[in-house]
């Protein structure tokens, strides 16, 4: 979501595009949760909320992992995926490192697994070596995760508000969200590798709330906009801090994300063969990648049109689905061909947050208001349910005040903005989350059908390098000449 981003590490050289920033299950966690509420939460629900969030994330992790065939536990060596068995152990290591091992003075106690730092610390373990490490067995890895989670739940159950308790809540929130991000990244990997869909990452969706067509653009008047999160709005990551004034000129933005039909017209018109539609960096990527069309597309046999691969199956391309698995270079090439442009992240957040009366005015936490996401408003991942890609007219109840649809959920949306620090940036204790990626990544906004509903808000900044098209990402556009 790392945000949803999937690159973590203390230095870019030590990290990989596949790294995610992403019991109750095997440890008897539900009874532990009840005990923790009684023993530790007192009048403060933060500890109980952390317990629920950690267990929900772990249940999702194990559901995704357990559905893999045995020969997929390591999987092929690719720069955009991790070995699933390594990734599972990394989640336990991360949780233990932040919640159980810290000592006064900033030192760390030894891990409960001998040699865990040399196996799972993504800031020092090079991605290319992770297939060659002496990883523990599946059974030993799961036992490590269970032991760590049980002790974390005990710690939360004994905690009290203030001081050390507040720090525990902060790091428990980071750990729960980190694991949900890895679950989303794991969903990308299943698609990349052609593994079957599984109910935790896209199959078995319920009825999708239909909506009326939402064609054309909406005009926003511009003005001074506060970009970023404000203190007191709850947990946010360091790259969202803090709200600062930016000038937004009047602009027109599409009500929906760009559809597959619209993108197919670009492909059919020879867009991937026509140099003038591409930036210098985009054309260099296209040539190096040998890209002659979108990822996971192929011509239909015996008739005109396209098929698209979703996990391990091929389907006729659905015209009204949002474009998916498109990188920033491809999105910008389509924009040049269509006479459009990508929004800046300030424009995107303004369109999602500003009330109908325009600027200045109170900002919304979500496009529809301050109420939490639900399955009628946003196509996200919810505990006990599953999402799948929906057409661009669905989820009308989640429209922004200006009538923009699906600004939360369905597909991440590329922006024109590089991922940079906001003024006065100070890294949070998990320093590797944002700071190493400033300047080399591009901002995406909004979340996708595999993003946990507990993560997303209008200020959330996802970030990937502009060549990544394994991500569940599409784009919406702005009119040219309106600023």
280 pLDDT more than 60: yes
Report the top-level CATH class of 202-483: alpha beta
21 pLDDT more than 60: no
What angle separates helix 164-193 from helix 84-99, to the nearest 10 degrees?
A: 170
pLDDT tens track for 108-156: 999 999 999 999 999 999 999 999 999 999 999 999 999 999 999 999 9
13 pLDDT more than 70: no
Name the band, by pLDDT with cuts 50, 70 and 90, for residue 216.
Answer: very high
Q: Count H helices and E strands in the chain, helices first.
A: 10, 13
CA neighbor of 116 nearest in space, from 88, 79, 155: 88
Highest mean pLDDT among 37-41, 43-47, 58-62, 158-162: 58-62
State the Cα angle at 62 between 57 and 65, rounded to 5°: 125
Query: What gap in Å lies between CA 27 and CA 150, rounded to an integer?
Result: 7
CA neighbor of 279 nearest in space, from 342, 356, 345, 219: 342
The dotted CATH code for 12-193 is 1.20.120.450
CA 195 vs CA 69, 132, 217, 298: distances in Å: 9, 22, 38, 18
CA 153 vs CA 49, 50, 51, 86: distances in Å: 11, 9, 6, 23
Q: Which two tokens stand for residue 76?
A: 């092929």
Q: Contact 203/397 with Cβ under 8 angstroms?
A: no
Q: Contact 382/388 with Cβ under 8 angstroms?
A: no
483 pLDDT more than 90: no
**Between 122 and 162, the higher pLDDT residue:** 122
51 pLDDT more than 60: yes
34 pLDDT more than 90: no
Query: What gap in Å lies between CA 351 and CA 359, rounded to an integer?
Result: 11
pTM for the full model?
0.90
Where exactly are the structural domains of the chain? 12-193, 202-483
The DSSP 8-state label assigned to residue 362 in this structure reads P
State the Cα angle at 126 between 121 and 128, rounded to 5°: 130
Q: Specify the pLDDT at position 204.
A: 41
**Between 208 and 403, the higher pLDDT residue:** 403
Q: Specify the pLDDT at position 197.
A: 81
Name the band, by pLDDT with cuts 50, 70 and 90, for residue 248.
Answer: very high
Q: Specify the pLDDT at position 422.
A: 98
213 pLDDT more than 90: no
Beta pairing, strands 478-479 & 473-474: unpaired
CB atoms within 10 A of CB 309: 15
Name the band, by pLDDT with cuts 50, 70 and 90, for residue 18.
Answer: low
DSSP lists the bridge partners of residue 246 as 225
Write the CB contacts of 281 (distance below 8 Å, at least 6 apart in sequence): 329, 466
Q: Specify the pLDDT at position 207.
A: 66
pLDDT tens track for 310-353: 999 999 999 999 999 999 999 999 999 999 999 999 999 999 99
């Amino acid at each position: 979501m790392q945000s949803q981003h999937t690159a973590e590490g203390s230095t870019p050289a030590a990290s990989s595009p596949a790294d995610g920033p992403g019991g109750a299950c095997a440890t008897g966690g539900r009874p532990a949760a009840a005990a923790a509420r009684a023993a530790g939460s007192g009048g403060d629900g933060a500890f109980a909320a952390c317990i629920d969030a950690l267990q929900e994330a772990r249940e999702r992790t194990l559901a995704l992992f357990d559905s893999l065939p045995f020969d997929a536990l390591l999987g092929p060596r690719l720069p955009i995926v991790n070995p699933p068995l390594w990734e599972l152990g990394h989640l336990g290591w991360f949780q233990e490192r932040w919640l159980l091992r810290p000592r006064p003075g900033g030192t760390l106690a030894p891990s409960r697994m001998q040699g865990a730092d040399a196996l799972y610390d993504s800031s020092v373990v090079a991605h290319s070596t992770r297939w060659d490490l002496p990883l523990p067995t599946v059974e030993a890895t799961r036992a490590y995760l269970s032991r760590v989670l049980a002790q974390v739940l005990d710690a939360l159950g004994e905690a009290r508000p203030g001081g050390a308790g507040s720090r525990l809540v902060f790091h428990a929130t980071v750990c729960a969200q980190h694991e949900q991000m890895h679950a989303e990244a794991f969903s990308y990997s299943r698609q990349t590798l052609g593994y079957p869909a599984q109910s935790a990452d896209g199959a078995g969706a319920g009825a999708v709330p239909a909506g009326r067509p939402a064609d054309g653009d909406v005009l926003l008047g511009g003005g001074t906009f506060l970009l970023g999160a404000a203190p007191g709005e709850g947990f946010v990551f360091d790259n969202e801090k803090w709200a600062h004034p930016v000038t937004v000129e009047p602009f027109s933005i599409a009500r929906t994300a760009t559809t597959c039909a619209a993108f197919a017209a670009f492909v059919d018109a020879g867009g991937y063969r026509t140099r003038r539609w591409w930036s210098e960096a985009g054309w260099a990527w296209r040539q190096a990648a040998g890209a002659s069309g979108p990822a996971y597309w192929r011509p239909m046999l015996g008739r005109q049109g396209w098929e698209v691969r979703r996990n391990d199956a091929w389907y006729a391309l659905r015209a009204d689905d949002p474009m998916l698995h498109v990188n920033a270079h491809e999105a910008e090439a389509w924009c040049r061909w269509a006479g459009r442009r990508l929004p800046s992240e300030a424009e995107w957040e303004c369109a999602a947050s500003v009330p109908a009366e325009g600027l200045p005015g109170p900002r919304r936490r979500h496009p529809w208001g301050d109420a939490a996401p639900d399955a009628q408003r946003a196509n996200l991942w919810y505990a006990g349910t599953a999402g799948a890609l929906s057409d661009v007219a669905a989820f009308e109840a989640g429209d922004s005040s200006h009538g923009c649809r699906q600004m939360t959920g369905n597909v991440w949306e590329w922006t024109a903005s590089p991922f940079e620090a906001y003024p006065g940036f100070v890294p949070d204790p998990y320093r590797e989350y944002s700071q190493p990626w400033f300047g080399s990544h591009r901002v995406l906004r909004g979340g996708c059908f595999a993003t946990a509903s507990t993560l997303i808000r209008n200020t959330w900044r996802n970030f990937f390098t502009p060549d990544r098209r394994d991500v569940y990402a599409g784009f919406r556009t702005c009119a040219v000449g309106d600023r």
